[in-house]
Structure 1
Amino acid sequence: MFVRVVFSAMVMMLYSALCSAHSVTFIAEDLPPYHFINKNNEPDGALVDIAKAVIKQSHLTAKFEIMPMARIFKQQQANPNAIMLSLLKTPNRVNNFTWLGEVYFADAYLISLKSHIDEVVHLNFAKEYKVATIRGYSSEAYLKRKGFTENKNLVLVSYYQQLWQMLYKNRIDFVVTNTLTLNNELERSGLDPNLITKRIHLDELPSSLNFAASKLFDSQSAQEIAQGLAFIKENGEYSAILQKWQLPLPSTANKL
């Protein structure tokens, strides 16, 4: 009897392990229309639809969780089967994750208030002003490479709320950031998005948003997801999903 119980327990453990190995969890922050909780309290959005289409091309099952950004990296580290839906691929992240394919883009711009009357057509012209970005972001290293200096014409802050409050209070002249979360950041800061404008598109900054998993992610699952993403891009399903959500295709995005 004891042997039978032990054997049954081992079978159940093996079954659970196999199921777990073939199940993945996509995680992302609340960021409409890319990924968010809809009125039915379900994960929804363009990148959620893309992930679902990819999973249909594989032998995997998937669930989706929307959570605050602060929890996403912790969840990804704690769960080897977790996949971030839209992680910006930057030089300092390249070796820290398993990259499963590009799903969208996040263009970076030099941004100012519309009331800023001086014309700035090149980043070098902005050196006469105060330009701010988030400390530790790739934009900090980029601006320093371009000749901006802290305590002179470069202002570094820790949070996006500080960044936008300083711009709207005219304590800085420009902000360098990617614009994927722009409207969300402004609305959460209680600021009017209609008061700002994109001055210069900074195409040298990283813009590739990817499915990204930990280095412990199963290699077979990684291959299936990468192949599934490539397949839906080839058969037109990827484009159809972006059109459904009224999002520009990466190849036709407006590069101001």
Structure 2
Amino acid sequence: MKQLLCLILITFSLKLAAVQLTIVSEDLPPLQMNNHEKPASGAMVDVVHLLLKEAELSAQLQFYPWARSYKIAQTQKNTLIFSMFRDPSREKYFQWIGKIFTLESFLVALKSRNDIQINQLNDAKKYLVGSIRDDLAETYLTAHGFKEKQNLYLNSAYPALWKIFFNGRTDIAFTNSTWAYEIKNTGLDPNKIKVLYKIPNITSDLYIAASLNTDKTMVIKLKKALATIKADGRYQKILTKWHL
């Protein structure tokens, strides 16, 4: 009986190992980056690789524009997708494995600016705040009374925002959890920055999920693996490596 049980378990494990998983994502530095001819990189790529290793599964990672990745993950068998916002409109279309990152929003300033004190958002209206045009941050700030050319300076992209900020043309920058990576990638020093204020009510949880017709045993293994790498510190070590 014991030998039969072992044989069944071995056969089941071999069948599971033989199933080829596909993982789809989009290019979203520094969380996931498609390096084309080179291996993909990024904090969430590292997390997903570790997750697969812990679950003893293998997969092929493919990058597409988000709309295509989303459609593939909805329709194809044994397919995972990351990093994806979870909301009620998406809930029934996926098997949700777990949260892999939380994006938060902040107001930051140079450490040398001891004159800037922010206890609430309205305090920032006395200063010139840098943000990105047509971004959620612009919508949030204008909804709370900030006005362009008065106390709001809008930039086309983050490299421009950080260069203008470091040159002293803005006092404060509205940014998110990836700010240290962005600053370093622009060739500037993130160690010169201090967080003034965490913006309330702008928190976005990012998940890894599986298509509905993905093998449920795989999903269970991945859920357990994610819990394990979070509990033993390996997940946090990856975030620290990427300054997140």
Distance (whole Å) between structure 1 residues aligned to residue 225 and residue 59 of structure 2:
17
Q: Which of 91, 99, 102 is the matching residue for 1:102?
A: 99
Structure 1 position 24 matched with structure 2 position 22: yes
CA contact (8 A) 1:35 1:48 kept: yes
CA contact (8 A) 2:51 2:229 kept: no
Q: Which of 190, 195, 207 is the matching residue for 1:193?
A: 190
- Shift in CA distance, 90/159, structure 1 to aligned 2, threshold 3 Å: farther
- Shift in CA distance, 226/159, structure 1 to aligned 2, threshold 3 Å: farther
Q: Which of 242, 249, 255 is the matching residue for 2:235?
A: 242
Amino acid at match of 1:174: I
Partner residue of 2:128?
Answer: 130
Distance (whole Å) between structure 2 residues aligned to residue 223 and residue 141 of structure 1:
40
Amino acid at match of 2:194: T
Amino acid at match of 1:112: A
CA contact (8 A) 1:110 1:202 kept: yes
Partner residue of 2:4?
Answer: none
* 1:183-226 superposed Cα distances (whole Å, 9 cap, x missing partner): 332122221222221111223212312226xxxx7322296676
Partner residue of 2:163?
Answer: 165
- Shift in CA distance, 117/59, structure 1 to aligned 2, threshold 3 Å: closer
Aligned length: 213
- Shift in CA distance, 239/168, structure 1 to aligned 2, threshold 3 Å: same
Partner residue of 1:204?
Answer: 201
* Aligned-residue RMSD, C-alpha: 4.0
Unaligned residue ranges in structure 1 (runs of 5+): 1-20, 249-256
Partner residue of 1:114?
Answer: 111
- SS for the counterpart of 1:206 is strand
- SS for the counterpart of 2:213 is helix
Partner residue of 2:13?
Answer: none
Distance (whole Å) between structure 1 residues aligned to residue 33 and residue 24 of structure 2:
12
Q: Which of 143, 161, 184 is the matching residue for 2:141?
A: 143
Amino acid at match of 2:187: G
Distance (whole Å) between structure 2 residues aligned to residue 90 and residue 132 of structure 1:
28
TM-score, length of structure 1 as denominator length: 0.63
Partner residue of 1:6?
Answer: none
> What is the Cα deviation at residue 157 of structure 1?
1.9
Please list, as runs of the form range in 1=range in 2, the aligned pairs for 1:3-152 lying within 5 A after superposition: 23-27=21-25, 29=27, 42-43=39-40, 47-48=44-45, 50-52=47-49, 61-65=58-62, 72-73=65-66, 76=69, 79-80=72-73, 83-87=80-84, 89=85, 95=89, 100=96, 101-118=98-115, 119-152=117-150
CA contact (8 A) 1:111 1:198 kept: yes
- Shift in CA distance, 31/203, structure 1 to aligned 2, threshold 3 Å: same
Distance (whole Å) between structure 1 residues aligned to residue 127 and residue 120 of structure 2:
13
> What is the Cα deviation at residue 106 of structure 1?
2.4
Distance (whole Å) between structure 2 residues aligned to residue 27 and residue 232 of structure 1:
20
Distance (whole Å) between structure 2 residues aligned to residue 224 and residue 105 of structure 1:
26
- Shift in CA distance, 30/203, structure 1 to aligned 2, threshold 3 Å: same
Distance (whole Å) between structure 2 residues aligned to residue 232 and residue 150 of structure 1:
47
* 1:24-64 superposed Cα distances (whole Å, 9 cap, x missing partner): 224354857x6579xxx655666445435655798985223
Unaligned residue ranges in structure 2 (runs of 5+): 1-18
Q: Which of 199, 212, 215 is the matching residue for 1:219?
A: 212
* 1:64-106 superposed Cα distances (whole Å, 9 cap, x missing partner): 35x7xxx65366267445755334x388xx7579663321222
